[in-house]
């Protein structure tokens, strides 16, 4: 089990951060509010997005994982059935279900502190199932250990994606 990268202070995105985001995802950011977590390599790996995109479209995914190495490793976990196993455990483990519901409430409270989206779920399938490990890992990286139990578990299963250095390099 690896130690997750610690939470980092939320920062305003710089031009270099926006450039890194564009390289990571292959598109310009939409609704970018802040860099919510930085990879130990120094690049953004989680961004905070506005609850509504500039055109007014609701976007309930407040924390968006951008690092392609982390995203690829999470995709492998998803392909190996980790989400199904976690969802099954939620149905049989009341303590885990309660902790996951608390993670959902934390996510909603963080999003609501920016703008309330009435009638929209948190993200990642919370609070009843696991639909997207990418969201759960992003939430865990931002909130720190102990807030999202399934995000924490997923992080513990990941390789140390930052060990090879930055996933993208500044242009110029």
* pLDDT tens per residue, range 101-148: 999 999 999 999 999 998 888 899 999 999 999 999 999 999 999 999
pLDDT recorded at residue 132: 95
- Residue 131 structural domain: 15-164
Q: How many domains does the chain have?
A: 1
> 80 lies in a domain?
yes
Pick the closest to residue 164 from 80, 27, 74, 70 (CA basis): 70
**Whole-number Cα distances in Å, 65 to 43, 81, 89, 107, 123:** 12, 20, 24, 15, 12
36 pLDDT higher than 80: yes
Percent of the chain, pLDDT > 90?
Answer: 80
The Cα 68–Cα 55 span in angstroms is 27
**pTM (2 d.p.):** 0.93
pLDDT recorded at residue 1: 47
């Amino acid at each position: 089990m690896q130690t997750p990268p610690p939470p980092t202070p939320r920062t305003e995105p710089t031009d270099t951060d926006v450039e890194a985001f564009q390289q990571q995802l292959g598109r310009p950011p939409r609704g970018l509010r802040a860099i919510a977590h930085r990879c130990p390599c120094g690049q953004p790996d989680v961004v905070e997005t506005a609850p509504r995109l500039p055109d007014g479209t609701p976007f309930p995914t407040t924390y968006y994982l951008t690092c392609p190495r982390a995203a690829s490793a999470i995709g492998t976990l998803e392909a190996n059935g980790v989400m199904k196993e976690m969802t099954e455990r939620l149905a049989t483990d009341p303590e885990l279900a309660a902790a996951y519901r608390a993670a959902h409430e934390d996510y909603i409270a963080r999003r609501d502190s920016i703008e309330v989206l009435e009638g929209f779920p948190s993200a990642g399938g919370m609070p009843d199932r696991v639909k997207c490990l990418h969201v759960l890992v992003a939430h865990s990286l931002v909130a720190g250990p102990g807030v999202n139990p399934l995000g924490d578990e997923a992080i513990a299963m990941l390789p140390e994606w930052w060990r090879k250095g930055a996933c993208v390099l500044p242009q110029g």
